[in-house]
Structure 1
């Protein structure tokens, strides 16, 4: 009888330890994954801004050539980078100022959808000025954006290609 009682108590004791061991294994795994996640590369504010600058320039040449599909693509690339800033650079004070360009982004998106080159040119200037206003407000006044004079890449044709 004593052996039976000892066996039952031993089984219960080891059974009760299983959830604790399993919980500890899961916690160890979570801790390990959190360390890996904290060490994962995250693009910085400057990388996003450099991408925006490239797409800003390409947007100009697309609109100048009435390549509205390309212009739409470029404005959406700018939007994606702005979302990236809000996602990955939440701790930067500059992120809070991004709303300065919202109105200009909406206007230029509208002129692209309407395929209106005259409105596009006006809205592009407004977007550029909004970028500079944001730079001034965030103490980056030394970073002045302007209308590009030459395409950023010599290996891209910004003219509308009508091949079918």
Structure 2
């Protein structure tokens, strides 16, 4: 069931995958090495947090191509977590599906109001999962500053 949900999430939320970026293609010889290494869930969540920040900064700046890219990366991380960490209850994995869909629709429509709504719903889903996992002290909020001073989030003209 978990694999089915991950596959559905992968196919329904966003049409573009981040690994379609030409430079992001792994060398074929790396595939066998990747299978022997599983990242810690805490590390995956820190990566998710960084993508969450970048998604907000891009969407807030109305840089829709960057927001789409970051949303794709964020979704990919959730999909991988669903497959790699079987102890995450299905209901918490499923709880991000609707907010990710709302965000995808908002980005496609370039709708800032819908983007904010989806972003808040995603944060709520994250925080509910943290509470259920006994890490409720990890509270995700809307970023107030950029921790990426070397990246431009405003649309490129």
Post-superposition offset of 1:95: 5.3
- Normalising by the residue count of structure 2, what TM-score does the alignment of the two structures yield? 0.73
Instruction: Please point out which of 72, 78, 81 is paired with 1:82.
Output: 78
Structure showing greater radius of gyration is 1
Instruction: Please point out which of 78, 82, 94 is paired with 2:88.
Output: 94
Kept in 2, the 8 Å contact 1:111–1:120? The answer is: yes
Post-superposition offset of 1:140: 1.7
Between the aligned partners of 2:54 and 2:40, the Cα distance in structure 1 is: 22
Instruction: Please point out which of 58, 61, 65 is paired with 1:65.
Output: 61
Between the aligned partners of 2:39 and 2:50, the Cα distance in structure 1 is: 16
Higher RCO, Cα 8 Å, sep 6+: 2
Give the helix-richer structure, 1 or 2. 1
- Normalising by the residue count of structure 1, what TM-score does the alignment of the two structures yield? 0.70
- 3-state SS of 1:94 partner: coil
Between the aligned partners of 1:77 and 1:161, the Cα distance in structure 2 is: 20
Give the 5 Å matches for 1:38-49. 40-49=36-45
Between the aligned partners of 1:131 and 1:56, the Cα distance in structure 2 is: 11
Residue 23 of structure 2 aligns with which residue? Answer: none
RMSD: 1.8
How many positions carry a matched residue from both structures?
Answer: 124
Instruction: Single out whichever of 95-104 and 137-146 deviates more from structure 2.
Output: 95-104
**Is 1:141 paired with 2:141?**
no
Residue 126 of structure 2 aligns with which residue? Answer: 131
Give the 5 Å matches for 1:112-127. 112-127=107-122
Q: What runs of 5+ residues in structure 1 fail to find an aligned partner?
A: 1-35
CA shift digits 1:44-103 (9 cap, x unpaired)? 21121111100100000101110000000001001111121123223xx22532112111
Between the aligned partners of 1:41 and 1:105, the Cα distance in structure 2 is: 27
Residue 3 of structure 2 aligns with which residue? Answer: none
Structure 1 segments of 4 or more deviating over 6 A? none
